[in-house]
């Protein structure tokens, strides 16, 4: 029991400070720990490349020009085009997309230099920087050992990939990334961390992981509020890594909260008022839908097709469904009797007469 309390307390502390927690608190390892277990090597299957962009994709590089890219200083891109690919020019600095992006599905094809030169972090190092801040590591991790949170497809310094799916140097490889940007409160505090899913050569390597801040070398940086859209970055790490066929799809923001409650105020009805609606209601004609209204405690339920839907009262006669966009209006007579109901859901309106 004592152990459970300690664990729960530790978990609670971790949860409340997750945004600022250094690496070892979340993973059991300090960043760049060489004693960390190596992800198993999985040989990827052959892929039909390049992967063409779908119709709604924004193509950032199609092999012909760098008009959609800038240098870190905002000037023209300093990387070069070689055989339909962009090649990192050592010393030229990061390459950034001219446009900013937030939530995206991103496809990138990359290849490390051949013949391979250097070891560990010095061999085919580059990186895909989501929003210019969160790096999915690019590295020649084919028979090249390094610290696991810095190998190819790692969220750099934070999460090693689930497996090592690297192809040999010179071969084209793919990243398919689903990225959800972090959300910040108006006061600048973190609302929700970023979330990253990565497929490397078609193999899942990052499963919805949440970086605890911008990725960094030798540091654990907390989140600081930033814009909703920021340029995509490609890292110059001194190795002539190549990229091609870069496209993305901007994702809708997606629901991050519970459904918006019904704007109508909720009223309190007494037990005797609620009891008036209890009964069986039938729709006339073919099919004869039946609505059975019951009371469970002080909660009114309307059962249809074996599902009991909770009703929320907005007046003596008007109710909404708690979890579904639908309404039930009862036909309430001046003497307090209920003679029928109207059920509206998904564009259909059914009027039922009370039979019991
Ligand atoms: Mg890198």
- Residue 154 Cα to ligand 1 midpoint, Å, equals 9
Q: How many angstroms separate the alpha carbon of residue 122 from the centre of ligand 1? A: 10
Among 20-24, 171-175, 236-240, which stretch is predicted with the lowest mean pLDDT? 20-24
Beta bridge partners of 174: 109
CATH no. for residue 179?
2.60.120.560
Domain membership flag for residue 296: yes
CA 268, 271, 273 angle in degrees (round to 5)? Answer: 75
Same domain (yes/no): 220, 115: yes
Q: How far is the CA of 336 from the centre of ligand 1 (A)?
A: 73
Given the DSSP bridges, would you call strands 104-111 and 173-180 parallel, antiparallel or unpaired?
antiparallel
Q: Ligand 1 center to residue 121 CA distance, Å?
A: 8
Q: Does residue 350 belong to any structural domain of this protein?
A: yes
- Same domain (yes/no): 173, 291: no
Residue 25 above 60 pLDDT? no
- Distance, CA 342 to ligand 1 centroid (Å)? 61
What gap in Å lies between CA 76 and CA 261, rounded to an integer? Answer: 49
Task: Compute the distance from residue 135 Cα to the ligand 1 centre, in Å.
Answer: 7
Both 297 and 326 in a single domain? yes
Whether 234 contacts 128, CB under 8 Å: yes
Is the per-residue pLDDT at 67 higher than 60? yes
Q: What is the CATH number of the domain that holds 301?
A: 2.40.128.50
281 and 243 housed in the same domain:
no
> How far apart are the CA of 350 and the centre of ligand 1, in A?
61
In angstroms, what CA-CA distances link 167 with 126, 135, 216, 221?
15, 20, 25, 31
Say whether pTM exceeds 0.85: no
Ligand 1 centroid–CA 49 distance in Å is 24
Q: Are residues 110 and 194 in the same domain?
A: yes
Domain co-membership, 71 together with 191: yes
b/e sequence 292-326, b meaning 16+ C-beta within 10 Å: ebeeeeeebebebeeeebebbbbeeebbbbeeeeb
Instruction: Please determine, for residue 19, whether its predicted confidence score (pLDDT) is greater than 90.
Output: no
In a domain, 191, yes or no: yes
Least Cα distance to 234 among 83, 53, 108, 51 occurs for 108
Q: If you measure from the C-alpha of residue 351 to the centroid of ligand 1, how many angstroms do you get, rounded to a whole number?
A: 64
280 and 243 inside one domain: no
Give CA–CA dist 209/225, Å, rounded. 19
Whether the per-residue pLDDT at 63 is higher than 80: the answer is: yes
Closest C-alpha among 176, 184, 236, 237 to residue 213 = 184
Report CA(127)–ligand 1 centroid distance (Å): 4
pLDDT of 11: 38
pLDDT of residue 139: 98
Whole-number percent of the chain with pLDDT over 70:
90
pLDDT digits (tens, 9 = 90+) for 218-259: 878 899 999 999 999 999 999 999 999 999 999 998 665 556
Could you tell me the distance, in angstroms and rounded to a whole number, from the CA of residue 320 to the centre of ligand 1? 53
Q: Single out the residue in 220, 250, 280 at which a domain terminates.
A: 250
Q: Is residue 130 located within the same domain as residue 97?
A: yes
Q: What is the pLDDT of residues 266-275, one digit of tens each?
A: 999 999 999 9
Residues 218 and 313 in one domain: no
CA of 126 to the centre of ligand 1 (A): 4
Judged by average pLDDT, the poorest of 17-26, 36-45, 338-347 is: 17-26
> How many angstroms separate the alpha carbon of residue 87 from the centre of ligand 1?
15
In a domain, 194, yes or no: yes
Q: How many angstroms does the Cα of residue 172 sit away from the middle of ligand 1?
A: 17
Count of domains observed in the chain: 2
- Between the CA of 63 and the centroid of ligand 1 the distance, in Å, is 22
Q: Is residue 138 part of a domain?
A: yes
Domain enclosing residue 290, as ranges = 271-354
Phi, psi of 13 (to 5 degrees): -65, -40
């Amino acid at each position: 029991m004592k152990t459970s309390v300690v664990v729960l307390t530790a978990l609670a502390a971790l949860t409340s400070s997750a945004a600022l927690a250094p690496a070892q608190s979340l993973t059991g390892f300090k960043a760049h720990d060489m004693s960390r277990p190596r992800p198993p090597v999985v040989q990827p299957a052959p892929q039909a490349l390049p992967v063409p962009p779908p119709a709604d994709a924004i193509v950032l590089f199609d092999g012909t020009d760098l008009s959609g890219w800038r240098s870190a200083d905002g000037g023209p891109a300093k990387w070069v085009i070689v055989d339909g690919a962009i090649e990192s020019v050592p010393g030229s600095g990061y390459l950034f997309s001219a446009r900013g992006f937030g939530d995206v599905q991103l496809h990138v094809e990359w290849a490390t230099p051949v013949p391979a030169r250097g070891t560990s972090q010095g061999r085919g190092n580059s990186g895909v920087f989501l929003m210019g801040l969160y790096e999915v590591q690019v590295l020649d991790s084919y028979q090249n050992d390094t610290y696991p949170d810095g190998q190819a497809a790692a969220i750099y310094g934070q999460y090693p990939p689930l497996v090592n799916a690297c192809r040999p140097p010179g071969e084209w490889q793919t990243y398919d990334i689903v990225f959800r940007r972090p959300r910040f409160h108006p006061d600048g505090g973190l609302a929700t961390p970023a979330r990253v899913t990565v497929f490397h050569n078609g193999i899942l390597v990052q499963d919805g992981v949440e970086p605890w801040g911008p990725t960094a070398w030798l540091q654990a940086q907390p989140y600081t509020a930033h814009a909703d859209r920021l340029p995509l970055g490609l890292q110059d790490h001194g190795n002539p890594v190549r990229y091609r066929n870069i496209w993305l799809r901007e994702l809708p923001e997606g629901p991050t909260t519970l459904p918006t409650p019904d704007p109508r105020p909720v009223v309190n009805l007494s037990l005797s008022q609620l009891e008036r609606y209890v009964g069986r209601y039938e729709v006339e004609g073919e099919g004869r839908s039946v609505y059975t209204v019951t009371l469970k405690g002080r909660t009114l339920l309307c059962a249809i097709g074996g599902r009991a839907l909770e009703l929320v009262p907005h007046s003596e006669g008007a109710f909404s469904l708690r979890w579904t966009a639908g309404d039930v209006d009862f036909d309430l007579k001046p003497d307090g009797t209920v003679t029928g109901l109207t059920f509206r859901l998904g564009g259909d309106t059914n009027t039922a007469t009370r039979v019991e």
